Amino acid sequence: MGRPKVQKKFAEMKRMIKLSDERLKAKDRQKPKNHLAKLEKKNLGEINEKQVTPVTSALFFRYNTQLGPPYKILIDTNFINFSIKVKLDIIQSMMDCLYAKCTPYITDCVMGELEKLGSKYRVALRIAKDERFERLPCLHKGTYADDCLVQRVTQHKCYIIATCDKDLKRRIRKIPGVPIMYLSGHRYTIERMPDAYGAPRT
């Protein structure tokens, strides 16, 4: 013979003790409602302080007034590597993209990163040591380039960031008024600058 069918009981809940029950210990017991109301009245008179990051005077709504020719472009490690793979002259391609004079800047962190990569990236290192590329000294500890670039861009809004790193792009998009230059289809493209050649239509 088969097993007898047992009917399932739906919506059956455990019986729970209320938080205001007398059987609970004093520390677990819920405070009476009038006590909460008194606390709320006390908090109404107090001033709650919030720390808000100051907005720079360079921004006019979403438009960055500090950006203008000659453009200052901060270069990331992978941007140089990808430019070599696609066989693009960095400065010439930047000028073709922005229709203006461009000054590429390289921080000490990026140089340190290129030196750590070894002999495989010696061409990229030689390009980075070019006289037309201006060097920016880093005063902070550590050589993680992404943090360094994000910190620089947050402090000074006069830079455009050139990178192909998805994580770094995501971080920079959160900072208002900073354009991002990247490689797309064998040429440079720029975000957040509609006047530039090849800028994506929004």
Closest CA to 63 of 159, 173, 187, 192: 192
Spatial separation of the C-alpha atoms in residues 178 and 158, rounded to whole Å: 8
Closest CA to 151 of 140, 135, 167, 162: 140
| Model confidence pLDDT, tens digit, residues 59-105 | 777 678 888 889 999 999 999 999 999 999 999 999 999 989 999 99
Question: What's the full length of the chain, in residues?
Answer: 202
Per-residue pLDDT band at 197 (split at 50, 70, 90): low
Domains of the chain, with CATH numbers? 68-191 (3.40.50.1010)
Assess contact for 98 and 73: CB atoms under 8 A: no
The pair of three-digit structure tokens given for residue 74, joined into one six-digit string: 């901060």
| Model confidence pLDDT, tens digit, residues 44-63 | 566 767 787 777 778 777 67
The pair of three-digit structure tokens given for residue 98, joined into one six-digit string: 């922005």
22-31 as b/e: b if 16+ CB within 10 A: eeeeeeeeee
The answer for residues whose C-beta is within 8 angstroms of residue 5's C-beta and 6 or more apart is none
Percent of the chain surpassing pLDDT 70 = 79
The model's pTM is: 0.70
77 membership: H or E segment, kind and range: helix 77-86
Per-residue pLDDT band at 38 (split at 50, 70, 90): low
**Cβ atoms < 10 Å from Cβ of 98:** 24
Q: Is the pLDDT reported for residue 15 higher than 60?
A: yes
Closest CA to 158 of 68, 93, 85: 68
